[in-house]
Amino acid sequence: MSSKKPVWIAGIARGHNGGVCLMKDGEIIFSIEEERLTRQKYDGGPYASMIKILDYTDKLDFLVVAHTQNLEQTAGKVDFSGDDVYTGLARKLGLIKRTPYDGSSHPQVIDMSNIHHKLHAACAFYRSGFDDAVALIVDGAGTFITLDIGGQPTTVWETESIYDCNYPDNFKTLYKHIGANGPLMGAWMPEFSSEMYDEPKEATHELVLSENAALLSHTKQLQNIAGLVLLKQAKLWDYFHMVSQTLKHLKSLEMTHLYLVQIEL
């Protein structure tokens, strides 16, 4: 019998369809969406799900948080102590160290809101069975980013991304379409820095910045043409555009046989 202490990690999704996935030494122990516990479809804020972790373990090594906006800046605050509600709940439950909040982030809480689309790519890649792939992400609003545009701090967000994916955890950004609520001068930058997505300082990607954050919707016609039926309104025009972009990158990587697509609408 191994005496090695197991590593417990819980990942939570804060936003719509919030929930928890609990892992022990890399194996999924349980996963649940908040709506199953609260009986509210698409419910966010996975508090009930987090309490459910106690059915399996009373200690976490790490709490990993997925969302589109920064945890400390945008989550609600616990009264009096002032930490964000997710860190605060984990702390109160004793899942993470009960260190009082001192204004700095908890060492056991990892906020991954800066790489929202990259997390979608990881979900697609790790379940694909491929050793090497390019992933295309189409998602109405991924990571929110503040860019200096004409001297003005401007909020923009990921709408479409392409990644080169390799094991064990290499996800290189190749292309991004970033949008905003206009008016805004659009731009195309062939070599935009990828540093904000946790990539090396010298890494770059192709960037398209447009004033319209929404993916263009030509749903009906393209659904008819493609013969596809999607449950929610699909934005297939951009989808087809992105497939062509993906194929271009596949070619540049000398990979011609596959692409992965993850769409969140």
Binding footprint of Fe ion on the chain (CB under 5 A): 139, 264
Q: How far is CA 192 from CA 6, 19, 196, in A?
A: 40, 33, 10
Q: How far is CA 220 from CA 31, 143, 197, 243, in A?
A: 35, 28, 34, 19
Q: Are 85 and 106 in contact (CB under 8 A)?
A: no
**Considering the complex, what minimum distance in angstroms separates the CB of residue 157 from Fe ion?**
10
The residue among 34 and 139 lying less far from Fe ion, judged by its C-beta, is: 139
The residue among 95 and 156 lying less far from Fe ion, judged by its C-beta, is: 156
Tokens of 87: 């860190």
Q: Which helix (DSSP H) or strand (DSSP E) does residue 223 occupy?
A: helix 219-226
The residue among 109 and 138 lying less far from Fe ion, judged by its C-beta, is: 138
Rounded CA separation 206/194 (Å): 9
Q: Are 35 and 46 in contact (CB under 8 A)?
A: no
**Considering the complex, what minimum distance in angstroms separates the CB of residue 262 from Fe ion?**
9
**Considering the complex, what minimum distance in angstroms separates the CB of residue 48 from Fe ion?**
22
**Considering the complex, what minimum distance in angstroms separates the CB of residue 137 from Fe ion?**
8
**Considering the complex, what minimum distance in angstroms separates the CB of residue 13 from Fe ion?**
9
Q: Please give the biggest Cα pair distance in the chain.
A: 63
The residue among 6 and 15 lying less far from Fe ion, judged by its C-beta, is: 15
The residue among 139 and 199 lying less far from Fe ion, judged by its C-beta, is: 139
The residue among 115 and 209 lying less far from Fe ion, judged by its C-beta, is: 115
**Considering the complex, what minimum distance in angstroms separates the CB of residue 139 from Fe ion?**
4
Q: What one-character-per-residue DSSP string does 108-165 give?
A: TEEE-GGGHHHHHHHHHHHTT--SEEEEEEEESS--EEEEEETTEEEEEEEEEEEEEE
Helices (H), 144-195: none
